[in-house]
Structure 1
Amino acid sequence: MDFKMEVAGLLAKATELSLEDALNTVEIPGNKAMGDFAFPCFRLAKVFRKAPPMIAQEVAEKLDKPAFIENIQVVGAYINFFVKKGIYAQEILSKVLAEKENYGKSDIGAGKTVVIDYSSPNIAKPFHVGHLRSTVIGNAIYKIYEALGYNCEGVNHLGDWGTQFGKLIVAYHNWGSKEAVENQGIQELMRIYVKFHDEAEKNPALDDEARLWFVKMQEGDEEALTLWKWFYDISIKEFERVYKMLGVKFDAYTGESFYNDKMAPVVEELKAKNILKESEGAMIVDLEHKNMAPCLIIRKDGGTLYATRDITAALYRKKTYNFDKCIILTALDQNLHFAQWFEVIHLMGYDWYKDLIHVPFGLVSLDSGKLSTRHGNVILMEDLLNQAIGETKKIIEEKIHL
């Protein structure tokens, strides 16, 4: 039974509206206390030359309450319909059982593409509970759009570039070994990464050394890039095991490093379009017209930033996938960052900036404070999943023996 269609049929008969007009007028109230369906009578005022509340009362008196309707109420100019929950549940469950995995699917997105950027953990750091929200929310959005007929492209924008890798190389040289990393994998990388930050508090020169190693990475130094690739491969192997436990998949692992050779043309385009301005030695895009702080594109030392890579990634994805929507999931505290570079895309003259969507979520914290890999203050995702699986098995076994 199409409940909305049935309600529209009742109203068409009582008001002499066409079925199509009645169907288009029936609403689903935002407040459940106002019923499952509502019919506003404002548009009938000109026809009946009466006040809408009076029309609502007269129309309601003409309605023959069908078996699937629990109650009909008039509230002001609205006629509210309450469906019997038992009948509604029976209809829905019967449809679910009949259609099974096809229930709720449609072809509304046929011929359209949506790119979904989710999870995005940092390489060489363990997958912890703080990454869970982006991963599962993103995967849910992927499945919803897929069920609606869209072509979905799930992208894992890995944090696989930056000074943290210089820190890790220094830590490996000082407190690590090939044997330990091969045996312990990402746990050993986390141990030496935490060790680095502990030691750097006592010896700030370690931070300078880490920056030098990152410069070597940028310049293509063979040793630096070999170590970086080794850490990368170890991390991907660890991540994929956790993703398998979660039932999550990706179509592409294109992290920050993927865009290293693609940013220069984007910076040149910004210059050519007179969008970039110099400010205290750095290059920025002025966003004062939007009452926002400027979007920093190039640092004083010539280095690029997150915004540079995100703008480059958006342009690459539009060219590669020709998306109708690009959805990016990150924490709520990055709202300004996304608002800034979305506006930069707008200023570049691309009308598809409207198709860029940031889906924010809250942060996970512990009783001991904010999650921090560098201080070792994390709950590993794999440990949490294994504990949850163990507790679930215990409950099932207890129920079986009742």
Structure 2
Amino acid sequence: MVAGLSIGRRPPRVLGLVVELPTHRRIFVPMLRVTRIEPTAVTLATGSVNLRRFHQRPNELLVLGQLLGARVAVERTGAAAALVDVAMEPTRTRDWQLTKLAVRERTGRLGRRGPTRVLDWDEVTGLEFAEVTGRPQGVKQLLAMFDTMRAVDVASTLHDLPPQRRYEVALALDDDRLADVVEELPEEDQKDLLQHLDEARAADVLGAMSPDDAADLLAELSEVDKDRLLDLMAPEESAPVKRLLEYSSDTAGGLMTTEPVVVGPDATIAEALAVVRSPGLPVALASLVFVCRPPSATPTGHYLGCVHIQRLLREPPSTLVAGALDTDLASLSADAPLTEVTRYFAAYNLVCGPVLDDEGHLIGAVTVDDVLDHLLPEGWRESGLPEAEPAQPTNREAR
């Protein structure tokens, strides 16, 4: 298990599992991909798994390799003890936390083992982040603060940090969290951070970003750097980015994301609602479900129409989405200029709209936040970043 410790007495989150393949390659599997844990097996959700070799990040802790055996103290009695086992439990937000610790007290008598006790995480001291990892206190404090902040607020704080401290924090954040933050940074800060990461890590972060944001960032790099990073990315991650790079940035094709919500015509209302409930789905994309014939990945099969989330909430869960289609909503072409896209959103009062090719296949969706990014003056992120304040905790993988 890989955990990320936080400041204070909050139980740390389990970030994922390190799995060894038959080829002896150790890879990382995020906990959100785990659907069930049994004594003899771990069941994963369907889909692809990143097969890159696991490399431990500075803010990560290997539970078996670094936690077990740690010298701790029982908070209530002050007794010295050794950590001999750890238990993790799922939370209502689908995260897993290290909640229980088994500790064996030290009696001071040679050859004698003290009693073993099971305690809550906050009943033990000596497991603070810096003590276990050796990470500097300043970075520790920032990481703990960032854990409860939205990505845009973390980006605002990073922008104001001295460059060296900014690089230290970036190295300590996991790929998904760093990707969320990079998406909210000013363009120059994005390029600067990317250049201070090693190429393999930079490719991982680009792969974790939304394809449209990754394409925008890569378009600002030299052709040599862009091609090298695209080659290092996993093929399933680089393919949509390469498609987006073919379009001008001020057209619907350059603005769109290639990962809209798509279901088949035989899906039920309940199944469509289950998809838009995903905590990692941006709000704008969750407002509209596109119904297409297979394949469901863009470019899809023939586009049939869309269903607005308000309609999904009004229909019986067992009915098919095909019976709730909006077939009259106009679509955008990939070469539609920014002015046409802006008029489209204003005319139809939408936050998300479909982009079709000449054959009637869905190739992506434009969201209103991406339109605003291009309408606002250059450098707006630097002059108009909001003040960073602690917000409600957000899911580590939400993006």
Question: Taking structure 2 as the reference length, what is the TM-score of the superposition?
Answer: 0.25
> Per residue, is there more helix in 1 or in 2?
1
> Per residue, is there more strand in 1 or in 2?
2
Question: Taking structure 1 as the reference length, what is the TM-score of the superposition?
Answer: 0.25
